[in-house]
Amino acid sequence: MPKRGVAHDQDAPSAPQTAATEPVNRTAGLRAGAPRRVLDMSSADRGDHSGSSARISDTVCSMPPPNWKPSRGRLRRLNRRQRKRLHVGEFTETGFEIRIEFVAPLADEALDRFTTNLLELAGVRRLLIGGLGGRLPLTRTEGFVVRDGRGSPSEEDRRAIVDWLRTQPEVASVSSSDPVDAWYGWAPAAAAPTDPTAEAAG
């Protein structure tokens, strides 16, 4: 079920609504008005893979500018309802990135089959994956995994995705990141960043 838009706290910076199809700079955090958490990849970002079955959330919400997040002092002044609306404090939601390298370049039916199977696994676990694009034929790709609904993917979810990818004959290697804040850009969710967990496909 689509998410409702995020309402601003009165102290939060205002941001104009933008079109749902506006591409997101993945390295700069989510833009104001960007689709909820899951990254919206334009046809240019996807290269020639316009027929991708990648599931992209199309719910648009009003969000503060990239990397905006309440300071500790402001966070203490927010009540529970405001923290919930802004997805901060105990209501922080995280996701993780996956990076996939293929044994041989993938395109057309082989790529569609691979992404469909991956997204079916994600759907069973109530996850959404954004990204999975690139210029055809793909030698590597990346995606961002979040919970389909309130909450965050668990460590068990991360292991399930990584372990499944390791069993696929098309995959040469796969790595996953530590949890990152899914609402406020790409700063690590924890106070101190840690090294990504890399997995080599067997």
Given the structure tokens 């004959």, which residue do they identify?
Answer: 169
Burial of residue 20 (number of CB atoms within 10 Å: 0-12, 13-18, 19+) = middle
Question: pLDDT by residue (tens digit) across 8-61?
Answer: 444 444 444 444 433 333 333 333 333 344 443 333 333 444 333 333 333 333
Q: What is the pLDDT of residues 62-102, one digit of tens each?
A: 444 555 677 888 888 999 999 999 999 999 999 999 999 99
Mind giving me the DSSP string for 5-63? PPPPPTTSPP-----TT----TTS-PPTT-BSSS----TTTTTT-TT--------B---
Q: Scanning the structure block, which residue is given the tokens 């796969």? A: 174
Domain-by-domain residue ranges, the chain? Answer: 94-200
Task: Return the CATH superfamily for domain 94-200.
Answer: ACT domain (3.30.70.260)
H or E element that contains 155: helix 155-166
> Which amino acid belongs to residue 184?
Y
Residue 99, classed as helix, strand or coil, is strand
What's the CA dihedral at 101, 102, 106, 112 to 10 degrees?
Answer: -80
